[in-house]
Structure 1
Amino acid sequence: MKYLIVGIGNIGAEYEETRHNIGFKVLDQLAKEKGAEFKAGRHGAIAEVKHKGRTLVLLKPSTYVNLSGKAVNYWMQQEKISIENVMVVVDDLALPFGKLRIRAKGSDAGHNGIKDITKTLGRADYPRLRFGIGDDFSKGRQVDYVLGEWSKEENLDLPAHMDAAIKAIESFASIGIERTMNFHNTK
């Protein structure tokens, strides 16, 4: 069985360590743990890993966050992966730093990457893992915050939160979205 795990982020060194790129960062760590390497492909970088007999196709779109749907749609078709086997890993301002929220479907909650995926696919019933980045910014500074780098304190705690996100992704592939939500949505 195949799964498409999509990390949302922006390509380029200037975005690498930003909060908006947590989807890329989580997938990079997962690939590293499994000994896989990303290779350039159409509309994104791809790596393939195995977990409990399942194949996880990891995708880091090269289309920038706001056009993520093009890459997701292409790789779903290319790999013949149905929508219920897709999980999108995305940053979320509405959640405190490090908090995870897994959903089987839902709104875009103002996230342009999710908005574009939903528009491109014509549906919003695909699993997503929202990774809390907090909202420690003053009025009108949201873009600077999202595209800003992690604080020293956040960087210290980031590995543990990324590990929890990886466990949730692996759980999704092995026991399904419903049980994963029960076990991995953090309090």
Structure 2
Amino acid sequence: MKLIVALGNPGSQYAHTRHNIGWRVADELARQQGATWRAGDHAEQAEFRLLGEKVLLIKPQTFMNASGKAVLPPLQFYKLSPEALLVIQDDLDSPFGLLKLRFGGRHGGQNGVRDIIRVLGSEQFARLKLGISRPPPGRDPAAWVLSSWAEDERATLDELVRLAVLATLKWITAGLKEAQAAYNGTDLRPRPEPAPASDLPAPGEPPSEP
């Protein structure tokens, strides 16, 4: 059995914020798998099976800073080790459009992950980190993560969510290393336009004839 925890804040005012990108992934994953959300222990829960594997998907309803309260009950009830857990989170320190899977490590300032580590007493679980970028200069990071996505970010956001769902499915069916190999190169940032070819000759090259 696998447990997937998507981090976010409850309430319609937070639904379209950067901090709730994990919930976007969870909602799309549940939709694709035909799973129905129901009230659980400090969380909304949805269940499905994939290639014989039972998966419990949860969205904590505790607000971000107390996410561990929603994670511990299912781990204890199903007698799961932290290695059976994947946390889907926003990542302030990664550029928007970057997707990265990792195992263990510190919380990096993400308060939901911080609380899960505190409650479990362990950093040994997988994370799917979705970059939301640092705020522009002079803007408070706490306000930035609670800000809504801009209209010109929507297409990249939709694609990032789509790929995050695929990465999660790969983690369920093939494990972390396979998911990392398939999706850790994901970077949806726009590429710079190539510089126009120069009319000047390269060093040591004779000028072209008119």
TM-score (norm 2): 0.85
The one-letter amino acid paired with 1:143 is A
- Within 1, Cα distance between the matches of 2:53 and 2:162? 19
Corresponding residue number in structure 1 for 2:174: 175
Shift of 1:110: 0.7
The one-letter amino acid paired with 1:3 is K
String of CA shifts for 1:116-169, please: whole Å, max 9, x gaps: 000100010100000001123233511111000011121122121111101111
- Within 2, Cα distance between the matches of 1:175 and 1:108? 25
1:51 aligns with 2:50: yes
Corresponding residue number in structure 2 for 1:130: 129
1:99 aligns with 2:98: yes
Corresponding residue number in structure 2 for 1:148: 147
Corresponding residue number in structure 1 for 2:198: none
Name the SS of the counterpart of 1:107 in structure 2: coil
Corresponding residue number in structure 2 for 1:38: 37
Name the SS of the counterpart of 1:114 in structure 2: helix
- Within 2, Cα distance between the matches of 1:7 and 1:114? 10
- Within 1, Cα distance between the matches of 2:139 and 2:122? 31
Name the SS of the counterpart of 2:118 in structure 1: helix
Corresponding residue number in structure 1 for 2:190: none
RMSD between superposed Cα atoms in Å: 1.2
The one-letter amino acid paired with 1:164 is L
Name the SS of the counterpart of 2:67 in structure 1: helix
| Greater share of helix | 1
- Within 1, Cα distance between the matches of 2:106 and 2:160? 23
Corresponding residue number in structure 1 for 2:204: none
- Within 1, Cα distance between the matches of 2:155 and 2:181? 27
Question: Structure 1, unaligned stretches of length 5 or more?
Answer: none
Corresponding residue number in structure 1 for 2:183: 184
Corresponding residue number in structure 2 for 1:77: 76
Question: Structure 2, unaligned stretches of length 5 or more?
Answer: 187-210
> For this pair of structures, how many residues does the alignment match?
186
- Within 1, Cα distance between the matches of 2:182 and 2:88? 17
Shift of 1:75: 1.5
Corresponding residue number in structure 2 for 1:14: 13
| Aligned-pair identity (%) | 37
Name the SS of the counterpart of 1:11 in structure 2: coil
String of CA shifts for 1:35-86, please: whole Å, max 9, x gaps: 1121111110000122222121100001111011111111111233221110
String of CA shifts for 1:7-58, please: whole Å, max 9, x gaps: 0000001101100011111000100111112111111000012222212110
